[in-house]
Amino acid sequence: MAQEVCGVIAPGKNEPVRVETIVVPDPGPGEAVVKIQACGVCHTDLHYKQGGISDDFPFLLGHEAAGIVESVGEGVTDVAPGDFVILNWRAVCGNCRACLRGRPQYCFNTHNAKQKMTLASTGQELSPALGIGAFADKTLVAAGQCTKVDPTVSPAVAGLLGCGVMAGIGAAINTGNVGRGDTVAVIGCGGVGDAAIAGARLAGAARIIAVDIDDRKLEKALTMGATHTVNSKTSDAVEAIRELTGGFGADVVIEAVGRPETYKQAFYGRDLAGTVVLVGVPTPEMKLELPLLDVFGRGGSLKSSWYGDCLPSRDFPMLIDLHQQGRLDLGAFVTETVQLDEVEKAFERMHGGDVLRSVVVL
């Protein structure tokens, strides 16, 4: 029997979001219905509301979530009712050219639930944010979007691994391949940048330089594992990174803003043969201009990190275990918990730079 539950809807471009009754169908083949316990508020949800991602309104927002599997459809064997899971937006297909070559973390054919959730009032089909839609009591996803983890972890903490925090940690440990003794600089210390700092610490980086234009963010970055801070509003980021790395630049520079000027800082703040990781997401009008000779002459690699190049089945349980052992403080990313009807307020606070993550707890 399809169920009616509450969910946060973005009804139209820039219209305030609101709680509405939605219809969640029973899971079909390969699908699961998950009872959501917590879901973080991410910039991407705000971008959906602003019409910056697509025009497929109404959206069912929310995608950094954890909860309990309530029911599964035909053929689902990896998860079962009662399992505690983190939702992901990389349900790998197993058959695309990336998967077939043993690189499922790049899967080019990820999937979501086939059936649609709808608005109870009008019957309109909903577009779930990143194929998840978890600012809701329950949501319908593809079973592959559910990753089982240690159920003793707090749901508010676990859910954050589903998107921004995984993107940052993965930018350091997967894409940047940060290793013991490396010097690392992270430009932009919001949720994603701070997670990159935590990831670099976890990987054994010797020196972690946090760069931001906001002193509040730099203070916080120190608590996440940064060993040095640079305010790039009052000093030159590239010079400061070089000064802190024996005059050479960092082995790995992670750009967690997504702007041409900060990308250039990353490019020139890196040692010869070093690595730049772009995890900040640019907008369509942004252009990058660099002397091609510098691209050649400085060597190394220039990489982008999609979702931290994570493989949920490999990375989520491992990072939750490290958190449970006290080796990775995921709790530090939860600034506040809020109710389902407070998402609009959480967007405002996010915009003001006051929070790393507000988490809706259901």
Name the residue among 131, 135, 26, 37 with its Cα closest to residue 86: 37
- Residues recorded for the chain: 362
Positions 267 through 326 that interact with ligand APR (CB under 6 A): 279-281
Q: Give CA–CA dist 42/356, Å, rounded.
A: 9
- Please select the residue that binds ligand APR; options are 67, 159, 176, 188, rule is CB under 6 A: 188
With respect to ligand APR, which residue has the nearer C-beta, 6 or 281? 281
Q: Is the previous residue joined to 25 through a cis bond, with omega within 30 degrees of 0?
A: no
Residue 167 interface partner, choices ligand APR, Zn ion, none, CB cut-off 5-8 Å depending on type:
ligand APR
With respect to ligand APR, which residue has the nearer C-beta, 34 or 256? 256
Q: Which residue is nearest to ligand APR (CB)?
A: 190
- Please select the residue that binds ligand APR; options are 137, 212, 251, 309, rule is CB under 6 A: 212
Residue 214 interface partner, choices ligand APR, Zn ion, none, CB cut-off 5-8 Å depending on type:
ligand APR
- Please select the residue that binds Zn ion; options are 21, 50, 54, 109, rule is CB under 5 A: 109
With respect to ligand APR, which residue has the nearer C-beta, 40 or 58? 40
Using the contact rule CB under 6 A, the part of the chain among 70-78, 147-155, 238-246, 258-266 near ligand APR is 258-266
Site string for Zn ion, 31-50 (x = CB under 5 A): -----------x-x------
Quote the least distance from Cβ 229 to ligand APR, whole Å.
11
Site string for Zn ion, 114-153 (x = CB under 5 A): ----------------------------------------
Radius of gyration of the chain (CA): 20
- Please select the residue that binds ligand APR; options are 24, 38, 158, 187, rule is CB under 6 A: 187
Through-space distance between the first and last CA atoms of the chain, rounded to whole angstroms? 22
- Residue 19 lies near ligand APR (rule: CB under 6 A): no
- Please select the residue that binds Zn ion; options are 6, 19, 96, 361, rule is CB under 5 A: 96
- Please select the residue that binds Zn ion; options are 9, 107, 192, 360, rule is CB under 5 A: 107
With respect to Zn ion, which residue has the nearer C-beta, 133 or 164? 164
With respect to Zn ion, which residue has the nearer C-beta, 51 or 179? 51
How far, rounded to the nearest angstrom, does the alpha carbon of residue 254 sit from its chain's CA centroid?
15
In sequence order, the 6+-apart residues with CB closer than 8 A to the CB of 223 are 332
- Please select the residue that binds ligand APR; options are 190, 225, 269, 274, rule is CB under 6 A: 190
Residue 189 interface partner, choices ligand APR, Zn ion, none, CB cut-off 5-8 Å depending on type:
ligand APR
Using the contact rule CB under 5 A, the part of the chain among 91-99, 144-152, 204-212, 223-231 near Zn ion is 91-99
Using the contact rule CB under 5 A, the part of the chain among 163-171, 260-268, 271-279, 307-315 near Zn ion is 163-171
Amino acid at 142: A
Query: Within 10 A of 288 (CB to CB), how many other CB atoms are there?
Result: 12
Contacting residues toward ligand APR, per CB under 6 A: 43, 164, 167, 187-193, 211-214, 217, 232, 256-259, 262, 279-281
